[in-house]
Structures are given as C-alpha cells and as structure tokens.
Amino acid sequence: MAERARWDSAYHAPVLAAEIVRLLREAPATVRRAGTSLPLALDGTLGGGGHSLALLEAGFRVVGTDRDPQALAEASARLQAYLNDGRFRALLANYADVAELDAFSSERLDAVLLDLGISSHQIDDLSRGFSFREGVALDMRMGTDARTDAATFLNDADERELVRVFREYADEPRAPRLAREITRRRATRAFATSDDLVGAIRGALGPRTGPGDFARLFQAVRIEVNDELSRLAQALPALRDRLAPGGRMAIIAYHSGEDRLVKHAFREWSTGCICPPRQPICTCGHVALGETVTRRAVEAGDAEREHNPRARSAKLRVWQRAEVPAEVAS
C-alpha cells in the first residue's frame, strides 16, 4: 500500500497502478526494447499524473493526454523533472483523437493506458458541476471539446432522447417516467442546478431515492454530455492500430457500458477463424489480431478499495497485439 500511495496526489489517486505497471512491463514489445531505447507508453487519461508517474518510474517514456486543461497543468507541474529530461510529454487532447496527432506519426506505441471516467478532483471541485451536492451548477463538461453542458442537455433534449440516456447509461427501468418528469418541470422553470435534477428524480422515482440513485443518473447525463461511449468505441481500433507488434493496451472501466465495449472489442480482436465448426477448410480469412491477456477483469483488492473508494467499481482489462502482423500471419 505504501507503493500505491506514492503515486497518489491531492488531485487524484490512480487505481490499480501496480497491476498496470506489471502487465505493461511484461509486454513482448516492452521486453524487446531492453538495451536499446526506452519503451513508449501513451497515458490517454492523464488526470493527476499518477499512472504516468508509475510508468516513468518503471522505465517508460510517456506521452500523456487529457481533454481537461486543469488536469494537464496539474500533471505537468508534478512531472516537471521528467518533462525536463525529455521522457514525458503532455498534450491537450481527447484520447479518441490522439492517433491523428503529429506526435504519434513516427513511432509505434509499446503500451496504451486509458483510465476511464472522471478524476477525484473533478468530482470534488463543485465548480465543475459533476456533483449532486445541493446548489451545484449543472455543467459536467470534462473539457472544452464537450458539445454541450448538462443543463443545456436536460433543457433541450426531447423526451425520447432522455429515455435513451437514462435507460442505456443508467440501466433505469423507469426511464420514461423520469423523462416525463423532467420535461414537465422544465416547461415552467429551466434546469440550472443539481437540485433541479435531484428534485425530478425524487418526483419520478419516489422520495426514497438516495445517493446511489443520484450518482447513477447523474453519471448517465455526464456520459451523454461528454459523448464518452461513442468516443471510446471510436478510439479503440485507432489506438490498437498504433500499437507496436507485441504491444499492450490496458483499460480501466467503471461503468458497465464502458466495460462491455472494451470486453467485446478485445474478444473480437482475439478471434481467429469464424467459419462454421464443421467446415473442413477455412474460407473466412479472419485472422486474430492479438490476444486478451486478462481472461477476467482485474479488480482492486480489499486494501486498495479501503484506501481509495473509487477503486470499488474498477475493472481492468489488457489486450496484446500479435507479434506477427495479421496480414502476414500464417
């Protein structure tokens, strides 16, 4: 636990950092680099820089990206020594766009890390509008690239769209009731603060609703505001294609929709021939692009969960690109 605490900061405590370092250091691409140049890792969700610090201490070069300018400034200040010696770079960017950046045009990545969701600081900073504490403005934008804020979404989305968001992102069986309550209330007064959404939730789902319900439903709005799942789906194949042969991708998910996307992508990339089982000769030509390293999601242990409550819902999955490119594999 002392090792984990070394990577914590007031901004954020990184989840499963020791496990990530171990799994990424074992990658064939990383091992192959030994004695030549330091392996290159992308930390696509830089946050407070805790995961990047762990990777830097483990002998990686790191390019860190974040869509949040505050996070970028915090991590850059913390990792200034590594910035100075050229082992760390920080870029303001959404991880879904990093494959298009000039910084990644000339070198393959030996490791990719995404720690999805939001940081502790983003939740605690009431001005960011992620909290359901009383009187907090409905904002929830992770960065300047967000297409709207939470208040605008709740005031402008039609009832069908509201149902979709609460059903798909919060698994809310009474999503139609909540959507109707929101549209009824906003007809007389626009949604502006957390109190408005909490009031609608209680009005639709009953007075016994509590923090667990608020967290789940606020999270659904946050996912929509930041376009999180569609951007993740877009990013996965792009980041996969930036990996060097034998490179690994590690993703920590906290939401069932995120984890499902990652799990299904890793499974698809790891599947070879998809011809019917009784067909004697393969005609599909489908070749596995790599293999899933973690057969089951890695979860935090009791000590880490006690130290960092955010770790309770974390699920880490790791995939490794084939060492022989698929197009020439036999």
CA distance 321 to 285: 18
Highest mean pLDDT among 5-19, 52-66, 105-119: 52-66
CA distance 317 to 255: 13
Say what the pLDDT of residue 10 is.
60
Say what the pLDDT of residue 174 is.
96
CA distance 257 to 102: 31
Q: Is 246 marked as a binding-site residue?
A: no
What percent of the chain stands above pLDDT 70?
92
State the residue for tokens 């089982």. 277
Q: Higher-confidence residue: 57 or 273?
A: 57
Domains (ranges, CATH) in the chain? 2-121+228-328 (3.40.50.150), 147-225 (1.10.150.170)
**Mean per-residue pLDDT for 152-162?**
97
Say what the pLDDT of residue 328 is.
42
Residue 128 has pLDDT above 50, yes or no: yes
CA distance 107 to 232: 22
Tokens of 305: 């969960």
- In tens, the pLDDT along 190-210 reads 999 999 999 999 999 999 999
Contact 21, 248 (CB under 8 A): no
Tokens of 191: 């949604």
- Per the prediction, the chain carries an average pLDDT of 89
Angle of helix 194-205 versus helix 211-225 axis, rounded to 10: 120
Report the 10 Å Cβ neighbour count for 290.
21
Contact 53, 7 (CB under 8 A): yes
CA distance 274 to 277: 8
Radius of gyration of the chain (CA): 21
Angle at 193 between CA 92 and CA 150, to 5 degrees: 40
Order of strands, sheet of 290-292, starting from the edge strand that comes earlier in the sequence = 88-92, 61-66, 40-43, 109-115, 243-253, 315-321, 290-292
Q: Is 51 marked as a binding-site residue?
A: yes
Q: Is this prediction's pTM over 0.95?
A: no
Main-chain phi, psi angles of 320, to 5 degrees: -120, 130
**Mean per-residue pLDDT for 168-186?**
97
Contact 80, 39 (CB under 8 A): no
Say what the pLDDT of residue 3 is.
57
Helical (H) or strand (E) element with 5? helix 2-6
* DSSP 8-state assignment for residue 147: S
Helical (H) or strand (E) element with 66? strand 61-66
- In tens, the pLDDT along 69-102 reads 988 999 999 999 999 999 999 999 999 888 777 6
Least confident of 119-133, 160-174, 288-302: 119-133
Say what the pLDDT of residue 103 is.
66
State the residue for tokens 């201490």. 57
- In tens, the pLDDT along 249-266 reads 999 999 999 999 999 999
Q: Is 68 marked as a binding-site residue?
A: no
Q: Is 115 marked as a binding-site residue?
A: yes
3-class SS of residue 109: strand
Q: Higher-confidence residue: 92 or 121?
A: 92
Least confident of 242-246, 282-286, 313-317: 282-286
Q: Is 122 marked as a binding-site residue?
A: yes
- Report residue 329's pLDDT band, with 50, 70 and 90 as the boundaries: very low
Say what the pLDDT of residue 330 is.
35
Contact 227, 176 (CB under 8 A): no
Contact 317, 292 (CB under 8 A): yes
- The set of residues, in sequence order, having a beta carbon less than 8 Å from that of 223 and lying 6+ positions away, is 165, 169, 229, 255, 257
Least confident of 51-55, 121-125, 175-179, 214-218: 121-125
Cα atoms found within 13 Å of the Cα of residue 120, Cβ hemisphere only = 15
What DSSP assignment string belongs to 200-253? HHHHHH-TT--HHHHHHHHHHHHHHHTTHHHHHHHHHHHHHHHEEEEEEEEEEE
Contact 232, 261 (CB under 8 A): yes
